[in-house]
Every structure is written in structure tokens, then in C-alpha cells.
Amino acid sequence: MAPSNQHHDIAVLMQRSTQGDRSALSRLLTLANSADHLAAVKESLEQRHACSPPVIGLTGSAGVGKSSLLGALASHFAECGERVGILACDPESPMTGGALLGDRIRILRAATSPEASERIFVRSLSTASGQQALPPNIDLMLQAMKTFGFDRIFVETVGAGQGDIAIRRVADIVVLVLQPQAGDELQWQKAGILEIADIVVINKADLPGSDRTLAEVTEQLHAGRAPSVPVLKTSIARNEGLDEFYRAIDLAQASLKLRR
């Protein structure tokens, strides 16, 4: 793209994305991620008054089931007729420098009907270093996503302990995903990330110890400043607790609207 045409081409892509053109949105995200075009994309997006769908962040340690839950959420809301956008942040492999696309595949596979999966858009983003929960240009990527008119946008962070707190700044609603665990020093106590959650989900409730973890998290929340944060149990493996989870997201969004 010649520099003189940059702004014009980006404006065309934004227009096409607004009309629901997925390939235009994809291209916009790619440009927003490239050093050569980043400044022009930023300028163009800043001039635009975008409608703002709620951004829902899923965070939690590696392997707790964030992508699996995201697949269920995306599928559910898409089945209800909504357009769902997903930014999944993958750790970049220090060996190959390439992003892992496993998350993307898992999310898409969860969509039940072809019509519903057509309403789901997934983009995997690699984080610059394995230690970062979100890529540095996440704000710009979200702005680009907002051109499309999604009903909801989900962001999955890389499970990076302390770094997970970064999601609080970009998401309207933060879902902290945990799994049953034993031992005195629990991962969420260590990282101190319980405070950032609007909803806590204990996933893998089919594994032993979920009731104990639920009781401990609830106690911790009640002792702190967030007694009203819902704590739920889900099992993707057994397809349990998911309806409550969808309802909790809707409730959190309803109270967000009241606050806005």
C-alpha cells in the first residue's frame, strides 16, 4: 500500500467492515498489527465514533479451560442470533516465534450450527513475549473490532498470573476462570487477581475438589470488598453449569448498562 493511499484504503476497509465484511475486518486487524500501517490505522480509527459493544475478558492460568468456555459462550450467543467477536491471545512460542492456533480451532469447533458459526469471528493474536497476558496494541485491535458491529466482543488472555490484571483495563466485564485445586497456597491467592473479577468460574467441576475451591473463593470474596461477585461451577466435559454462566454474563452486562 503506497503511503498516500493508506488513509483512503483504510477508510474503505472500515466502511466495508461496518457493512459486515469479515475479510475487510481481518485485513484491518492485520494492518493494525503491522509497524508500517499502525499509525495510519490508529489515526483513522480515532476519528471514528464507534458504537461500543461490551467487552468481556476471560482470564486465568494456563489450561483452566478459558478457550473451551469461550467456545460455549460464543456458540450460545451466536445461536441466539448475536454476532460475536473474539480476540484470543496466544503465547508466542519462544522456539518458533509463531503463535499457537489451537485456541482458535477449539473455539470454532464448539459452534453447533453452521449458521451460528458464521456469526462468530475469531482472531488469534500472538503476544510479543510469553510473559505478557495481552499484546501491547490490544486497544487498537479492539477499536478495529468495534467497526464491525458485534453484539459482544470476548478477549481471552494468556494465562500469566500477575499479568492477567491487564485485562481489567480493556474489558467491561472480567471473568476469572479457575479449576479445582488442592494445597494451601492457591494460585488465585498468590497472584492476587481475585479482586479484578466480576464473575468467578470454577471450571472442570467434574474433577475432585471443586466444592472446596468454590467455598474458599466465596469466603475470600466475602472477606474482601466484593461479596456480590458470583462464583459459579462449570464443567465443559459434562456440559454442566453453563446456563448459569450465560445468565451471569447477561446480569453483569445489565448492571454495566446501569452504570454507564
Ligand X SMILES: Nc1nc2c(ncn2[C@@H]2O[C@H](COP(=O)(O)OP(=O)(O)OP(=O)(O)O)[C@@H](O)[C@H]2O)c(=O)[nH]1
Interface contacts to ligand X, rule CB under 6 A: 62-68, 103, 106, 159, 203-204, 206-207, 235-237
Alpha-carbon torsion (71, 75, 77, 82), positive or negative = positive
Minimum distance of ligand X from residue 175's CB (angstroms): 12
Strands (E), 41-191: 55-59, 84-91, 120-127, 152-156, 173-178
Minimum distance of Mg ion from residue 254's CB (angstroms): 27
Q: Does residue number 67 form part of the binding site for Mg ion (CB under 5 A)?
A: yes
- Residue 1 sits at the vertex; the CA angle it makes with 146 and 52, to the nearest 5 degrees, is 5
15 vs 8: CA distance, rounded Å = 11
203 binds, among ligand X, Mg ion, none (CB under 5 to 8 A by kind): ligand X
Minimum distance of ligand X from residue 98's CB (angstroms): 15
216 binds, among ligand X, Mg ion, none (CB under 5 to 8 A by kind): none
- What's 240's DSSP letter? B
Q: 11 forms bridges with which residues in the sheet?
A: none
Minimum distance of Mg ion from residue 245's CB (angstroms): 16
Residue nearest to Mg ion (CB): 67
> Which is closer to Mg ion, CB of 13 or CB of 58?
58
235 binds, among ligand X, Mg ion, none (CB under 5 to 8 A by kind): ligand X
- Edge-to-edge strand order for the sheet containing 120-127? 120-127, 84-91, 152-156, 55-59, 173-178, 199-202, 231-233
> Which is closer to ligand X, CB of 54 or CB of 65?
65
> Which is closer to Mg ion, CB of 53 or CB of 71?
71
- Contact between 66 and 185 under an 8 Å Cβ cutoff? The reply is no
Q: Does residue number 103 form part of the binding site for Mg ion (CB under 5 A)?
A: yes
226 vs 218: CA distance, rounded Å = 10
Which residues within the stretch 2-61 sit at the binding site for Mg ion (CB under 5 A)?
none
126 three-state secondary structure? strand
Minimum distance of ligand X from residue 248's CB (angstroms): 17
189 three-state secondary structure? helix
Q: 257 forms bridges with which residues in the sheet?
A: none
* Span interacting with Mg ion, options 23-31, 72-80, 102-110, 120-128, rule CB under 5 A: 102-110
Residues contributing to the site for Mg ion (CB under 5 A): 66-67, 103
